[in-house]
Homo-oligomer: A and B are copies of this chain.
Amino acid sequence: MIVAFSVAPGGTGNTDGSVHDAVAAAVKIVRESGLPNRTSSMFTEIEGEWDEVMDVVKRATEAVGAYGSRVSLVLKADIRPGHTGELDGKIERLERAIDEL
| Known A11-B15, A12-B15, A101-B28; contact A41-B90, beta-carbon cutoff 8 A | yes
Count chain A residues whose beta carbon lies closer than 8 angstroms to a beta carbon of B. 61
List residues 1-60 of chain A with CB under 8 A from any CB of chain B.
Answer: 2, 4, 6, 8, 10-21, 23-25, 27-28, 31, 38-43, 45, 50, 54, 58
- Verify A80–B17 contact, CB threshold 8 A: yes
Decide if A84 is an interface residue (CB 8 Å cutoff).
no
- Verify B101–A24 contact, CB threshold 8 A: yes
Residue of B nearest to A23 (CB): B94
Q: Please, how many angstroms separate the alpha-carbon atoms of A40 and B73 in the complex?
A: 17
Q: Tell me how far the C-beta of A38 lies from the nearest C-beta in chain B, rounded to whole angstroms.
A: 6
